[in-house]
Structure formats: C-alpha cells, structure tokens
Amino acid sequence: MLSAAALLWIGYRAVVEREQAATLVATRRAGEGAALLIAALTRDMRGAQQMVLSSADRDGLTARPPVDLLHPIASAFARYPYLDAFFSWRDVPAEESPVFYTRAERAPVWLSAQDHQQLFPVIVSSNGTMASRLLPRVQQDLAEGRRFSIFDMELGGTRYQIVTLLSYADTLRERPSAIFGFMVSLQWAREHYFKDLVAQAARIEAGESAIDFAIVDQAGQSVVGVTRVTANVPGAERRFPLVFFDPVTVAADPPSDLSIASWRAIATAQHDPTLAAADSGARRTLALATVMTLVLTAGVWLSLQAARTGARLADMRADFISAVTHELKTPISNMRAIHETLASGRTTLETSREYGAMGIREATRLSRLVDNLLAYARITDVADAYSFEPVMLETVVDRSLQEFEPHLTHEGFELHVELPEDLPPVKADPTALGLMLNNLVDNAIRYSRGTHWLQIAAHRENATVVLEVSDRGMGIPEGEIERVTRKFFRGSLSNAGGSGLGLAIVDRIVADHSGTLVIRSIVGQGTTVAVTLPVAAETSGRARRASQT
C-alpha cells in the first residue's frame, strides 16, 4: 500500500514538474519571439533615417540638383514601405520652393495632378501649400542650429511624422545650406506596415514553434493580431516607441509638437507543441512513474540547450528579417515599378531603353542573391559537391566581368585587369570559382562611394596563384575584418543592403579548395581581398584548352 502511494505521489509530482517545464519552455519561446519582433521593428523603423538621410548627406547629394536624389529615393521607397514622401530644399533660405518626391502608386491626398512629372516610380512636384506649412516649422530648428528637425503635423487631413536632416555650410551651424527629409503617414503605417512585418516574423518562427504575434497601441487597441487569449497561456510582451527614427536623436531636447506613443509587441505560445505534448503525456505519466525522473532530467537539459541556442540565433534571425527579406523585395519592387511605367506608355524610346537596362540590372541582382542563398546551403551541407579540374583564371574573370558589365558601365567604374599570359591553371570547381569571384566583384561595386575604381590582378607564387580584387571604397574597420566572413554579419559602416552571405561563401569556397583568404582594408581608402589557390597538377596545353572551353 505504501509502495503504491509512493508511486502515485512520484507520478503526480512528475506530471506537475513536466507541465511546469513545458510552460517555462513555451514562455521562453514567446519571449524570444517578442524580442525578435522588436529587433526587426526597431531596425526597420530607424532604417530610413540612418541609411537614407545619412548616406545622402555623406555623399553630398543634398547639395546637388534634385534629379540626383531620384535613385536613392526610389530605392528607399522600394525598401521601406512606410515612407510616403521625401522633400528637399537647397540653398536655404531661397525663393524657390522645396521639391517633393512621392510614390507613383500611392500618391498622398494633398498632391494635385498639376505641376508634377513622373520619373522612375517617383512623382516629382512642387507644392506651395505644403511648403508654407513645412518650412516655417523646419526654419525654427534651423535657427537653433539643430541637426535634425523632427515633429508631427497634420497635412491634408492625414497625421504625418516628419523627419528632416538639416545641413549647414559652417561648423557653427549658423549658415543653413540644405534640408532633406521624409514623411510617414501614421494612419497608413497602422493599417498596413505593421501587419506585413509581423507576418514576416510569424513565417520565420513557424518552422520551430507556434508563436502568435500581436501589436497593441497606447490605448490598448489591437493594431495587428488578436490579443484576447485564455488564461494561463505562456506569453511575453515588449514595449517600443512609435517613431520612424532613432529616439536618441531627440532624447536630450524633445520637441513640444512631437508625440511619441508607446506601443506593445505581444508574443503568445497558445498553440505551442510543447504544451500539447505535456497534456497528452500527463495521461501516461502514472504508468511510467519509474522513469519520469530520467525523462524530466533529459527534458530540462534539452530545454537549457535550446535556450542557449535560441539566444545565439536571435540576432541572426532579426538580421535575416530586416536584411534578406528586404533585399529580396527591393529588386522585385523595382522591376515591378519599371514595368508599370513602361506599360503606361508615357515613355520615349530612349527612356524605354534606359528602363530596360535598369530591369536587367535588377534581375541580375535578384538572381545573384538567390544563387548566394542556394549556394550557401549546398556548400555547407554537401562537402563533396565540387568537381575539381584545371581552370584558367582569365576565363573566370572574363565571364564575371561580362555579367557585371551593365553595373560597371552604369556606375562609371574605372576597371583594371592584370593577368599574366603565362598564368597557370588552378585546381578548382569552375562554378564555385565563378561564384567566389562574383561575390568579390559585387562587394567592390556595392561598397564603393566617391571613387569608382576596380582592379582584378593575379600572379604566381611558387605552387600557388594569388588572385586579388581591389577597390577604393569605404573600407572595413580593423576590428571587423576577422568577422566579415561570418554568415549574416554586416559591418558597422555597411549601409548598402546585402544579406551578409557573400564573404561567408567566399571563405568556405576558398577553404574547400585548400586555399587561403586574406583581407587588407583601410577605412576610407579601400579594400583588397587576396585569394590563394593551388596550381593544377596538369598544366599541358590540352588541359588549358579544356579549361577554356
């Protein structure tokens, strides 16, 4: 009798402990999901200020003619859906009105059909009514020497959050030179923007656990998702400010006409498989009471391991949502906008050719990103996927330059190729070698700024061939050189998009080819990537001709 009672007590305690452990695991998953959603939201909502405004100011675009801003603004519209309009004003103060840039497919209600022209997927216009509302408020911050002018304003019956970068011609900020800013419709963001981003986060989490996401405003009203759940459901919530800029910008002296609402991101594990397993397992626990202790110990150990792994992957997941998802959408959105413009029939033959060339570049960019994602899975999961043979580097370089010729020509790159005629073939997989060189050339193009210069050179060193790809771009900080070959890592100076896989793929391909990878870089002067590959054992004319074909 005592033995039976002891067995029942052990079984009861095992059931209780298992349910508590399952609840703890589900709660941790919900907390990780909430943290993932907040990380993706804050990165994306601050992206337009940190990447678009700062890049335009650093590259001197704010002081140039308005047409020079078309390309970065079109790219910003494709990448950040919450942006409604941009505006710029040179030679402040001046008699001319500021220039407004709005979306062609989502023009604001205050934009009239007169006095505007459509370039790319962007409408360029001047609007005296809007200028008379915006400029007096911005000039208040110019008079105070502020770096940013950030405020809320109702325009055309719509509430906007307006973020403006203020440029000056002197270090004391006494002589304004230009302004460049953007406008975000808070109503549109509430109805559309958060729903799409939450859906992306839910798709990422769907592979591991059933996490339900919701966003609630400051009044407790649901913005996205259903917030009413049954009692005792594991969940977590995180607060975030409804601002489309870095809150640190106004932390010291917040404007009186800027209302910062505090919203909540909620993640619940109502349908978590761990909870379902605990409920079904409770009915069998009494029959297995003698082994429950071992099962519980194993479950706790696995839970701790899962928690550690989840913590390490949380940042990479957030980077994946904010970087890779947008990188895939950007060329698709650009191609759609280009084809919609062509289909409208409002273009000349010359502009049609230009849009066609732009479409080719965007399609190539999309193809290259998809190839990188597929190639990374192949070379990391299948170690023997290569087919080694003697390969002539000049053939690989020619193919790569042919692929990038539209970009090099469009960006006005000064190209130098230095390959000796007696350069021996290397032992390599031709497809992998081409992917490696494409990633190096793509990085050189992507991270070049003022000086568009590219050099591809090679020379022999004993039983190896050294291939070098050099640029005069922004460079890599010394402390980040060892980390740039990690997957999904993007440097602190990187503001040109990208998935963070390029150098990781290059590093893996070089290692699989028994080679070495050396990166030399100086911030502001450029980067040189040197790849050393072994010479092929067969260097006969027959092998050379076979490699070239």
Per-residue pLDDT at 207 exceeds 70: no
Backbone φ and ψ for 457, nearest 5 degrees, come out as -135, 155
Per-residue pLDDT band for 377 (boundaries 50, 70, 90) equals: low
Q: For all residues of the chain together, what is the average pLDDT?
A: 79
Tell me the per-residue pLDDT of 290-334, one tens digit each, with 9 for 90 and over. 555 555 556 656 777 766 666 655 655 555 555 555 555 666 776
Tell me the per-residue pLDDT of 472-498, one tens digit each, with 9 for 90 and over. 988 889 888 888 887 766 666 665 555
Tell me the per-residue pLDDT of 412-434, one tens digit each, with 9 for 90 and over. 899 999 999 999 999 998 988 98
Task: Check residues 2 and 47 and name the one with the higher pLDDT.
Answer: 47
- In the chain, where does the domain assigned CATH 3.30.565.10 lie? 383-548
Helices (H), 48-164: 54-58, 70-79, 128-143
Q: At what angle do helices 2-47 and 273-282 cross, to 10 degrees?
A: 170
CATH topology of domain 323-380: Helix Hairpins (1.10.287)
Euclidean distance between CA atoms 7 and 9, whole angstroms: 5
In this predicted structure, what is the pLDDT of residue 310?
63
CB 407 within 8 A of CB 496: no
Residues written for the chain: 549
Euclidean distance between CA atoms 289 and 301, whole angstroms: 19
Look at domain 383-548 and name its CATH class.
alpha beta
In this predicted structure, what is the pLDDT of residue 276?
56
Other beta carbons less than 10 A from residue 219's beta carbon = 7
Cα–Cα nearest to 46, from 178, 179, 182:
182
Least confident of 20-29, 49-58, 509-518: 20-29
Task: Check residues 368 and 448 and name the one with the higher pLDDT.
Answer: 448
CA-atom Rg of the chain in angstroms: 28
**pLDDT mean over 232-248:** 88
CB 179 within 8 A of CB 88: yes
CB 330 within 8 A of CB 79: yes
Per-residue pLDDT at 242 exceeds 60: yes
Helices (H), 214-348: 273-282, 292-319, 325-343
Helices (H), 59-190: 70-79, 128-143, 186-188
Per-residue pLDDT band for 541 (boundaries 50, 70, 90) equals: very low
Dihedral sign, CA of 42, 45, 49, 50?
A: positive
pTM: 0.52
Q: At what angle do helices 349-381 and 393-411 cross, to 10 degrees?
A: 140
In this predicted structure, what is the pLDDT of residue 34?
85
Cα–Cα nearest to 54, from 167, 134, 209:
167
In this predicted structure, what is the pLDDT of residue 98?
86
Dihedral sign, CA of 30, 32, 36, 38?
A: positive
Per-residue pLDDT band for 515 (boundaries 50, 70, 90) equals: very high
Per-residue pLDDT at 538 exceeds 60: no
Euclidean distance between CA atoms 4 and 128, whole angstroms: 88
What is Dmax (Cα atoms) for the chain?
Answer: 98
**pLDDT mean over 93-97:** 65
* Strand partners for 264: 216, 239
Tell me the per-residue pLDDT of 356-372, one tens digit each, with 9 for 90 and over. 777 776 676 666 666 65
Least confident of 217-226, 309-318, 446-455: 309-318
Per-residue pLDDT at 251 exceeds 90: no
Euclidean distance between CA atoms 201 and 181, whole angstroms: 29
- Vertex 76, ends 470 and 33: CA angle to 5°? 95
99-103, strands of its sheet edge to edge: 116-119, 122-125, 99-103, 83-90, 176-185, 158-168, 148-155
CB 169 within 8 A of CB 177: yes
Q: Which long-range contacts (CB under 8 A, 24 or more apart) does 254-257 make?
A: 255/150, 255/151, 257/137, 257/151, 257/152, 257/153
Per-residue pLDDT band for 539 (boundaries 50, 70, 90) equals: very low
Contacts of 305 (CB under 8 A, 6+ apart): none
Per-residue pLDDT band for 544 (boundaries 50, 70, 90) equals: very low
- In the chain, where does the domain assigned CATH 1.10.287 lie? 323-380
**pLDDT mean over 163-191:** 92
